[in-house]
Amino acid sequence: MSRPDYSIVIVPFGGDILDYLADVAESIHEQFGLPIRIEEDRGIPEFALDPVRRQYNSNMILKELISSCPPGGLKILGVTAVDLFSPIFSYVFGEAQFNGRGAVVSSYRLRGAGSGPERQGCPPLVSRLEKECLHELGHTFGLRHCADPDCLMHYSVGVECADRKFAFFCPACRDLMLWHMASDLFLKPA
């Protein structure tokens, strides 16, 4: 199937994210098979800072991403090192627009030591960040949480949980993701 000019756009938001982004981008490309376009670093998302909580509002970052998605961007993913919250949660690893365009992920809570098996030669943070990015992008392709604890769409309660799952979608989630991608690409193009 031919996939025209559509790409997954990745937007770094400051911190040391650029150190990890090439690995994350490669992993996203492998899983979704779409070209990846990394935009310029937009810096710390001060517009989303809640001065009382001293955390950053993921809803606001998501809105900013969606409204600034460049032409041809099928999905847009923000990656930041700052701590994110969503009004109903004390913190979030990330947030996505279900069956929509945007997602945002933070590395902030992914830095602790983990007990789970790591991909060989891959530092824990990169491996966790990859999985969280793939998980949130999965939501943008219409995937809900999955009961299979090895699947990328399994809900992560903590970093240990993220370390346990594999960097793959289970066959059921993968089929659904491909179906949604086909409909995104051919039935309701950007």
Name the residues annotated as catalytic.
136
By CB under 5 A, tell whether 173 contacts Zn ion. Answer: yes
The count of residues interacting with Zn ion (CB under 5 A) is 6
Decide: is 153 part of the binding site for Zn ion (CB under 5 A).
yes
Q: 10 pairs with which residues across the strands?
A: 38, 77
134 binds Zn ion (CB under 5 A): no
Angle (CA) 98 99 104, round 5°: 50
DSSP 43: -
Write the DSSP symbol of residue 146: -
As given in the structure block, the two tokens for residue 47 are 């517009």
Evaluate whether 174 touches 135 at the Cβ level (below 8 Å). Answer: no
Among the listed residues 24, 84, 170, 181, the single contact to Zn ion using CB under 5 A: 170
Q: Which is nearer to Zn ion, 14 or 166 (CB)?
A: 166
Stretch that binds Zn ion, among 33-41, 43-51, 102-110, 173-181 (CB under 5 A): 173-181
**Tokens 């376009």 -> residue:** 37
- Tell me if 39 contacts Zn ion by CB under 5 A: no
Footprint of Zn ion (CB under 5 A): 146, 148, 151, 153, 170, 173
